Amino acid sequence: MAETRRENLVGRNLWADIIKMRDEQRENLKGAIQIVRREDLPLENNEQGLMRWYMHPEIKDIVLHTMIFFEQEIAPGSRSGRVKFQGGQVIFVVEGRGYTMLDGVKHAWEAGDVLNIPLRKHGVVMQHFNSDGETTARFVVTEPNLFAATSVDRGCGFEQLETSPDFKG
C-alpha cells in the first residue's frame, strides 16, 4: 500500500495542483451569487422536516462556502426529526414558540431568541418542538461548514435518530 502511494506521488507537482485549484476557485467565483433570495429557494421536505437551504456544502453557485445556513419550519404542534451531530450551531428563532430537547434537557424558546448549541467531542442529541397549536415555528440556523475539513461525521458520528412526522418521503 505504501509503495503504491509513493508511486502515485512520484513525478507529481502538488504545488502546481494547489495553484490549479486556486485558479479554478477564482474562475468559479466570477459568476457566483452574492445575494441568496428566500423566494428563490424551494421548501425541502426531508427527515428533519421542512427546510430552505441558503448555504450548503453541495450548493456551489454562491460566493462563500465556509458556512452552512438554512431556515427550518415546524408546523403547529409538530416537531423536527431527532439528530445526533457534533453541535456548534447558532439558531435564531424568527417566529413561533416551542422548545428544544438537547441531550434530554428541555430548553424553551420564542421569537427573537437565540439558541447556542454547544460543540461537544462526543456530539449532542437534539430535537425541536413547536408548542403552539396554531402558529408555524420558523428559525434560521448557521454553523461552520466543517464537512470538508473533518468529514460529515465530524468525529462523533452523524445519525438521524428519528424522522419528523412532516416528512413525506
pLDDT at 1 over 70: no
Instruction: Determine the structural domain holding residue 141 and report its residue range.
Output: 36-162
The pLDDT tens digits of the residues spanning 93-151 come to: 999 999 999 999 999 999 999 999 999 989 999 999 999 999 999 999 999 988 777 77
In angstroms, the CA 92 to CA 140 distance is: 5
**Averaged pLDDT, 59-84:** 95
Give a yes or no: residue 48 inside a domain: yes
In angstroms, the CA 141 to CA 115 distance is: 9
Give a yes or no: residue 147 inside a domain: yes
Give a yes or no: residue 23 inside a domain: no
Q: Is the pLDDT higher at 169 or at 123?
A: 123
Give a yes or no: residue 20 inside a domain: no
Number of H helices, E strands in the chain: 3, 11
Burial (CB count <10 Å: 0-12, 13-18, 19+), residue 56: middle
With bands split at pLDDT 50, 70 and 90, how would you rate the model's confidence at 22? confident
* 108-134 burial: b if 16+ Cβ within 10 Å, else e: ebeeeeebebebeeebbbbbbbbbbee
Kind and range of the H or E run holding 9: helix 2-9
The pLDDT tens digits of the residues spanning 38-71 come to: 999 999 999 999 999 999 999 989 988 889 999 9
| The pLDDT of residue 87 | 95
Return phi, psi of residue 64, to 5°. Answer: -110, 135
Give a yes or no: residue 145 inside a domain: yes
Q: Is the pLDDT higher at 67 or at 3?
A: 67
| The pLDDT of residue 29 | 83
Give a yes or no: residue 21 inside a domain: no
**Number of domains composing the chain:** 1
In angstroms, the CA 58 to CA 111 distance is: 30
Give a yes or no: residue 140 inside a domain: yes
Give a yes or no: residue 27 inside a domain: no
The residues, any chain, with a CB within 8 Å of residue 2's CB and separated by 6 or more, are none
In angstroms, the CA 14 to CA 5 distance is: 14
| The pLDDT of residue 16 | 87
Grid coordinates given for 86: 457534533
In angstroms, the CA 158 to CA 153 distance is: 5
The CATH number of the domain where 98 resides is what? Answer: 2.60.120.10
